[in-house]
Amino acid sequence: MAKFVITPKMSWYEGLIFKLKKKMIFDQTEFLIEQFLSDSSQTFGFDYTLVNMGGFFRLLNHDRTELVKILSPQELERFEKFSLPKKKLQWLAGRYTIKKALQKRKWFSQKVPDFNRIDVLSCESSAPYLPQFPNLRISITHSFPYCIGVVSQHAIGVDLEKIMELSGSLINQYFHPNEIKSLTEKAETEDYRTQTIIYWTRKEAVSKLLKLGLKMDFQQIDTADDSVLCKDYSPSRIRLISSRMIDYCLSLAVEEEQLISDLLNP
């Protein structure tokens, strides 16, 4: 895993090299995420937008002129209630990625309203939805500096997380016994942290597909296989696909019955 740490003793030249290496890692990661989403979108039939949230920083302290081009009046009202810049950044980028992905989906079928006439709202479980397009399902994920929005005709969930060490107590509380067994076999190996975050992103993606958020019993969901049945929440099996992109893991969840139906009726 690539790690670059700047120190006070670095010369200007060393600092420059540090910044260039860090940018190179971010650019490579973004390329891998884009490649994964592009390939997956052809299989699962969704549209997506990937952005670097760094480009939205300037809008946080900008006048409303730029914001009103992206956010609807209802969204803008909600946006201005956030006190933390990080929350504002994530929320703004999430709305933008969904509207941009919607623009791609509707390009050949019908005219898409201006961004500020589209609402990306949240239900009680915090799951986002499009009131103007009730037949479409959407999902948002962000792990700085990246934000992804996906739009599909079918239930879908997406989650991106930076690879990190999860505590043993969290794993015991939220992971299925089969997942814990698999992780135990990888203990003290380079794959341990990666597999831990892959399981976590899969659980998050499933909870987003089911629109349950933290109301889902994470420990009940076994994501050790690429297909999972959540009997208490859905009669359909859920297909999982995951990948590592340098310091990040990304997972998608889609209902298998819908995938099979699309393959049989293209």
| Domain count across the chain | 2
How far apart are the C-alpha atoms of 103 and 21, rounded to whole Å? 34
- Cis peptide leading into 145, omega within 30 of 0? yes
Q: Is residue 23 part of a domain?
A: no
- pLDDT, tens only, 146-201: 999 999 999 999 999 999 999 999 999 999 999 999 999 999 888 999 999 999 99
Do 179 and 211 lie in one domain? The reply is: yes
* Whole-number pLDDT of residue 60: 83
Q: Residue 34 belongs to what domain range?
A: 29-45+154-266
Report in angstroms the alpha-carbon separations of 30 from 10, 15, 132, 149.
Answer: 27, 23, 31, 14
| DSSP E strand stretches across the chain | 46-52, 121-122, 128-129, 137-143, 146-152, 156-162, 227-229, 237-245, 248-255
State which amino acid sits at residue 261.
Answer: S
* Whole-number pLDDT of residue 188: 85
Q: Is residue 111 part of a domain?
A: yes
* Whole-number pLDDT of residue 214: 87
Give the residue from 152, 184, 200 where a domain finishes.
152
**For residues 216 and 200, is the Cβ–Cβ distance under 8 A?**
no
Give the residue from 152, 182, 203 where a domain finishes.
152
Handedness of CA 200, 39, 212, 95 (dihedral sign): positive
Segments of the chain with pLDDT less than 70? 1-21, 63, 107-111, 257-266
3-state secondary structure at position 165: coil
Do 148 and 166 lie in one domain? The reply is: no
* Whole-number pLDDT of residue 134: 93
Give the residue from 122, 152, 182 where a domain finishes.
152
